[in-house]
Amino acid sequence: MHVALLVNPTARADAGAHAAERAADRLRAHGVRTALISGGSAEESSDLLAAALELGVDAVLVAGGDGTVNLAIQQLAGTGIPLGIVPSGTGNDLATTVGLRDLDADGAADAVIAGRTRTIDLARIVRADGTTTLYGTVLASGFDSKVNDRANRMRWPRGAMRYRIALLIEFLRLRGEPYEVDLEFADGTGERVTGDLLIATVGNGRTYGGGVPICPDADPADGLLDVTLVRPAGRIHLLLRLLPRVYRGTHTSAPEVTTYHVRATRLSSPGVTAYADGDAVGALPVRVEVLPRALTLFAPA
């Protein structure tokens, strides 16, 4: 068996890199040929993974968070080549969704060695210019994406505190954005939702942002996507009532929240950026459609 082990290109000296080395040692101890891949950037890492796949590997193991896993998803979708995850990023939401979050390096390697697999759906984003990209967790737009936009523009502080400050600033500036949301259901019918929204998310998985269950009923293997729409409400109500429910995953019954199960949807709102698997994927409008059983994953014991 030959495994390509993709390491977060920005994490060579941190815990993620150490976890990758440990997983590689365990795989090799069981006779699995393992090659570590880590470019100087996401683009270079993707090129190196593509080269490894062209040469021929039996599986890919990723040591990192959702962004690094997403690099592998782009190339493994539809191939049947199984993906393993050593969850060592800041978010790890796909690992959470598929029950791999608690695996350490040894556990992730053992899942590869055991060879048990399962398949899950992926979501495909189609941008206005026709280009596409895939994701495994949640596409976020609205308030969430504005927080990310601001955090990405900030040079200080570093780490989680930068996100918290961006969250506070955007909360003080909170307002709804005009949206058009076209929904396509599994039975072939459709519906259009218009009006101001604070948040519009499309989930293949349940969580984003490191474990926030914004789409608590999403099942990554049901052939559907979960859409969660949040309409404007007063800041105090959102802070004291709705936000705690979001973190508990009980917000879907709130009067300002509407959810849908769809096979595809189109989100449109001027000036709003969409984020998926934690990274910016482009400005709205975008179409999002489900790709059933598109990704094969190693399943833990």
For residue 48, the SS3 value is helix
Largest Cα span, the chain? 60
Q: Are 105 and 34 in contact (CB under 8 A)?
A: no
Rounded to whole angstroms, what are the CA distances from 104 to 7, 93, 209, 249?
Answer: 15, 15, 21, 26
Instruction: Tell me, yes or no, if 66 is annotated catalytic.
Output: no
Alpha-carbon distance of 150 to 169, in angstroms, equals 9
Q: Are 289 and 264 in contact (CB under 8 A)?
A: yes
CA-derived radius of gyration, the chain: 19
Query: Which is the catalytic residue, given 182, 219, 222, 279?
Result: 279
Q: Are 290 and 224 in contact (CB under 8 A)?
A: yes
Instruction: List the catalytic residues.
Output: 279
